[in-house]
Amino acid sequence: MSSITMPKPSPYADVADQLPRLRGMLEEHRRFRLDQLAQLTTQHPAGGRHVDTLDASADIARVEVSAAVEAAARQALDDIDGALTRMNLGRYGCCARCHAPIPLERLLAIPQASLCMDCQRRAEHRR
């Protein structure tokens, strides 16, 4: 009796099947971030003279929060663009550090993820 061994499925097969869906998600996230950045860069603090120190402090706080949100949006956009580049190069779904497959469930939750969970935990622990 001969036994035929079936080839092991690629750990990337499920990701490959979902690439159109994942690309759509990334492109949607990208449009959102571009719109968000456009809105943030067109917002200006209210003009006029500051009547008291409290108003000036509130304006400073508003500018600082806006700058932090803008920086986070730019980082998210960079992460999304990186994921689209990896997708175009055929490296999407592969951990940038250990080269292990990134589970489809993780990519569906965070399509711009470049690290597997183990490497992500290590990266966060180092901070």
Domains of the chain and any CATH numbers = 13-40+56-126 (1.20.120.910)
- The verdict on pTM exceeding 0.85 is no
Point out which residues pair with 94 in neighbouring strands: 101
The H or E element that residue 70 is part of is helix 53-89
pLDDT in tens, 72-111: 999 999 999 999 999 999 999 999 999 999 999 999 999 9
pLDDT in tens, 16-63: 999 999 999 999 999 999 999 999 888 755 555 555 677 888 888 888
**Backbone CA torsion sign across 33, 14, 20, 92:** positive
Average pLDDT, stretch 2-18?
71
Of the candidates 91, 89, 97, the one whose C-alpha atom is nearest the C-alpha of residue 123 is 97
Question: Do residues 113 and 91 touch, judged by C-beta distance below 8 A?
Answer: no
